[in-house]
């Protein structure tokens, strides 16, 4: 009887082992898709994992959703002319990147200022100069922006990197940014994004209510983070900026000359300037935070490092500061009324630790409790990985 049971067990084991080896074959890596992306996209489209080229100013129409699968790389060539990816109001862009398989938009030459980056238009409120509720974009598209849907949804950009952006498009007024958001609403997800070595700002908001989380601005020529037109995102956190080689303000904050009752909120911020970094045009743009044109907001748990003086070729010394207030209106209406708050701030390697005015006529004195230094601030907390690694360099370190 024991012999029969042993034989039965042996036979069963062999059968199970046979099933296991045949039912669980070694996984294979899918072959990347290829193709060109151009023109206006007028119907829903999903780009499977692959390597694509983007040519021209590609626009996603209203009512259309475009999706990129994880691990996809989209390459642009500045030799083809003006290039950008534009999400029009009512359209949606979804990038389904992951920490180890980000969606990457890059440019063939690897030179800053080689394309227009990602530009998104939403339908959320704005407040432009003069108090108006709409404006015309300065990106070369000259599109009207501004709406009334605070929770408007323009899609979901997750674990996505934009490299070498910052070119002008057509007869645009300014260079474009890595990511540009015109009146984008809070229903839009912006998470784990990288703007890498562009020729203008890393991120710029023109009004809207969208928030940005877990973001990196690395090596961009102008400001790491910039906004105007009454941007009021409320749940922003984990912003990391590293300015190296060439770069202006860590954060340029303005409200288009409107004394707003509202402002944005950002927590867990790290602003770092590398040794030897110079402002873009050799001037006085050497501060970590710059507030102007009635800019305000609440900022907490902040690391500021490396904003020392800059001396240009003519020997003029520009003083680096943790916080600079550019104009009297911002000082009178925002600083003095506690509409600007910088809390739990740790400052190192910076010439002016206390906030200053851009001129001696602007005497800055933050009310008690609105500018608070701390030795225990930790700044942004980000986990590295493929999403934040370029040419073998971990951008989070």
Q: Provide the residue range defining the domain that includes 107.
A: 63-233
Beta bridge partners of 59: 40, 86
What pLDDT does 21 receive?
46
Residue 162, in any domain of the structure:
yes
Residue 93, in any domain of the structure:
yes
Please give the Cα distance from 95 to 104 (Å, whole number): 9
Please give the Cα distance from 76 to 109 (Å, whole number): 9
Please give the Cα distance from 351 to 250 (Å, whole number): 15
Residue 88, in any domain of the structure:
yes
Number of domains in the chain: 1
Residue 371, in any domain of the structure:
no
Residue 258, in any domain of the structure:
no
What pLDDT does 23 receive?
61
How many separate helices (H) and strands (E) can be counted in the chain?
2, 30
Residue 178, in any domain of the structure:
yes
Q: Which residues contact 130 (CB under 8 A, 6 or more apart)?
A: 257
From first to last of the 397 residues of the chain, give the pLDDT tens digit: 444 444 444 444 433 344 444 566 666 778 999 999 999 999 999 999 999 999 999 999 999 999 999 999 999 999 999 999 999 999 999 999 999 999 999 999 999 999 999 999 999 999 999 999 999 999 999 999 999 999 999 999 999 999 999 999 987 778 899 999 999 999 999 999 999 999 999 999 999 999 999 999 999 999 999 999 999 999 999 999 999 999 999 999 999 999 999 999 999 999 999 999 999 888 889 999 999 999 999 999 999 999 999 999 899 999 999 999 999 999 999 999 999 999 999 999 999 999 999 999 999 999 999 999 999 999 999 999 999 999 999 999 9
CA distances from 53 to 6, 111, 156 (A): 63, 17, 21
What pLDDT does 27 receive?
67
Residue 251, in any domain of the structure:
no
DSSP strand pairing (103-107 vs 73-76): parallel
What pLDDT does 12 receive?
44
Residues in the chain: 397
Q: How many CB atoms lie under 10 A from the CB of residue 337?
A: 12
Residue 148, in any domain of the structure:
yes
């Amino acid at each position: 009887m024991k012999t029969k049971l042993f034989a039965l067990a042996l036979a069963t084991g062999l059968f199970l082992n046979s099933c296991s080896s045949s039912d669980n074959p070694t996984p294979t890596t899918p072959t990347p898709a290829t193709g060109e992306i151009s023109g206006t996209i007028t119907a829903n489209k999903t780009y499977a994992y692959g390597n694509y080229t983007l040519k021209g100013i590609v626009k996603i129409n209203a009512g259309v959703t475009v999706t990129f699968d994880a691990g996809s790389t989209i390459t642009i060539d500045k030799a083809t002319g003006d290039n950008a990816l534009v999400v029009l109001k009512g359209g949606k862009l979804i990038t389904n990147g992951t920490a180890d398989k980000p969606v990457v938009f890059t440019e063939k030459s690897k030179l800053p200022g080689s394309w227009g980056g990602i530009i998104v238009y939403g339908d959320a409120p704005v407040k432009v100069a003069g108090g108006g509720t709409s404006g015309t974009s300065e990106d070369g598209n000259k599109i009207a922006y501004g709406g009334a849907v605070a929770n408007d949804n323009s899609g979901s950009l997750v674990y996505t990197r934009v490299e070498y952006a910052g070119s002008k498009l057509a007869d645009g007024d300014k260079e474009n940014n890595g990511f540009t958001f015109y009146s984008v609403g809070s229903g839009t997800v912006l998470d784990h994004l990288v703007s890498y070595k562009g020729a203008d700002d890393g991120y710029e908001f023109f009004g809207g209510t969208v928030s940005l989380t877990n973001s990196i601005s690395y090596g961009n020529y102008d400001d790491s983070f910039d906004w105007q037109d009454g941007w009021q995102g409320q749940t922003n956190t984990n912003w990391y900026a590293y300015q190296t080689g060439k770069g202006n303000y860590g954060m340029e904050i303005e409200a288009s000359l409107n004394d707003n009752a509202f402002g944005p909120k950002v927590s867990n911020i790290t602003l770092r300037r590398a040794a030897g970094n110079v402002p873009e045009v050799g001037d006085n743009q050497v501060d970590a935070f710059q507030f102007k044109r009635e800019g305000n907001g609440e900022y907490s748990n902040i690391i500021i490092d490396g904003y020392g003086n800059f001396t240009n070729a003519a020997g003029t010394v520009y003083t680096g500061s943790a916080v600079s207030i550019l104009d009297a209106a911002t000082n009178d209406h925002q600083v003095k009324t506690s509409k600007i708050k910088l809390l739990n701030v740790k400052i190192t390697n910076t010439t002016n630790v206390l906030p200053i005015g851009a001129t001696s006529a602007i005497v800055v004195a933050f009310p008690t409790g609105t500018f608070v230094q701390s030795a225990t601030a930790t700044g942004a907390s980000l986990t590295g990985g493929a999403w934040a690694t370029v040419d073998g360099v971990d951008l989070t370190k």
